[in-house]
Amino acid sequence: MSKQTCEQALNAQPTEAETVVWNQVNSVLEEAQGILAELQSYRGAGQEIRQAIQNPSDVHLQEEAWRAVCPLVAKLKRFYEFSLRLENALHSLLEALTSPPYAPTQHLEREQALAKQFAEILHFTLSFDELKMTNPAIQNDFSYYRRTVSRNRLNNFQVDSDCDVNNEMANRMSLFYADATPMLKTLSNATTKFVSENKSLPIEDTTDCLSTMACVCRVMLETPGYRSRFTSTETLLFCMRVMVGVIILYDHVHPVGAFAKTSKIDMKGCIKVLKDQPSTSTEGLLNALRYTTRHLHDDTTSKQIRALLQ
């Protein structure tokens, strides 16, 4: 992708050929900011839960805790259901950006509006996971909810239908929230599944799409001419999150991963450009590379790259 193409992609409008997929993905992305705002304002029911646990025979305190937890569990259910919609959106974008007869780089130049949506999904994903990682109340609230349901303590007060999570859904939500980076895991699994279900499609079509996006982001971050055009810290963060997101997806899908010498991603350059940024979110992104990739500790990863991520 040329530098001019990068700039165009940031402001790209869908062409007629992109419209169907763009509309489908856009309906998901329109919800994303609301989901982030809800997660950002998520305070938890820690105080009510503590009171209820410390006073197990006080029915009033049990009801208070239940009433505090119910709307929170309804939110957590909504976040989880959104992750499934995000997974479907990613699948549609991967299909559009890797389908024959065009090469991945041609797709990224032809379907710039879809490439931008892919980037927006990754930006949302890493933003969501950063917020989730710093909020232990999420797992505490859901654990309390499950314990309360399993002990049949609901006889004396009304169960809110929005909060009524059946056992199968509760199990799936537990697995989702148990992960440090649940949205990223959802996308990594979705990308792996996409590759395994499309055996007739060369794996390089998917990995080249991801490595090209990583390269574009790295160039934009390390080139002063580009950096000077970033209008806000949020634009800088957007670029960093997208770069880290595609690296992680590449590492999950590529047989030898992103850290090997044969990788099409300049990992040294990407890590260096992250470390050179003044942003406070950089450490979270470096942690994502440390803890959510698959191949960092393989023998094929150079000592230099491991040292950079120490």
Give the model's pLDDT for residue 1. 45
| Nearby residues of 273 by Cβ (< 8 Å), 6 or more positions away | 218, 221, 222, 243
Please give the Cα distance from 173 to 79 (Å, whole number). 9
Q: Which mean pLDDT values do the consecutive 10-residue runs of the chain (310 residues) have?
A: 48 84 95 96 96 93 92 95 96 91 86 92 94 94 90 54 77 93 93 91 90 92 80 84 94 93 94 84 87 91 90
Task: Judge contact between 296 and 289, C-beta under 8 A.
Answer: yes
| Nearby residues of 84 by Cβ (< 8 Å), 6 or more positions away | 186
Please give the Cα distance from 49 to 145 (Å, whole number). 10
Please give the Cα distance from 252 to 189 (Å, whole number). 8
Give the model's pLDDT for residue 236. 86
Give the model's pLDDT for residue 279. 65
Give the model's pLDDT for residue 224. 83
Here the tokens at position 146 are: 């499950």
Give the model's pLDDT for residue 5. 45
Cis peptide before 101 (omega within 30 of 0): yes
Alpha helices in the chain (DSSP H): 3-10, 19-40, 46-54, 59-98, 104-110, 112-133, 137-150, 167-178, 182-197, 203-222, 224-227, 233-253, 267-275, 282-291, 303-308
Amino acid sitting at position 104:
P
Task: Judge contact between 259 and 251, C-beta under 8 A.
Answer: yes
Is the pTM of the predicted complex or chain greater than 0.85? yes
Give the model's pLDDT for residue 162. 54
DSSP string, 190-248: HHHHHHHH-TTS-HHHHHHHHHHHHHHHHHHHH-HHHHTT--SHHHHHHHHHHHHHHHH
Give the model's pLDDT for residue 100. 83
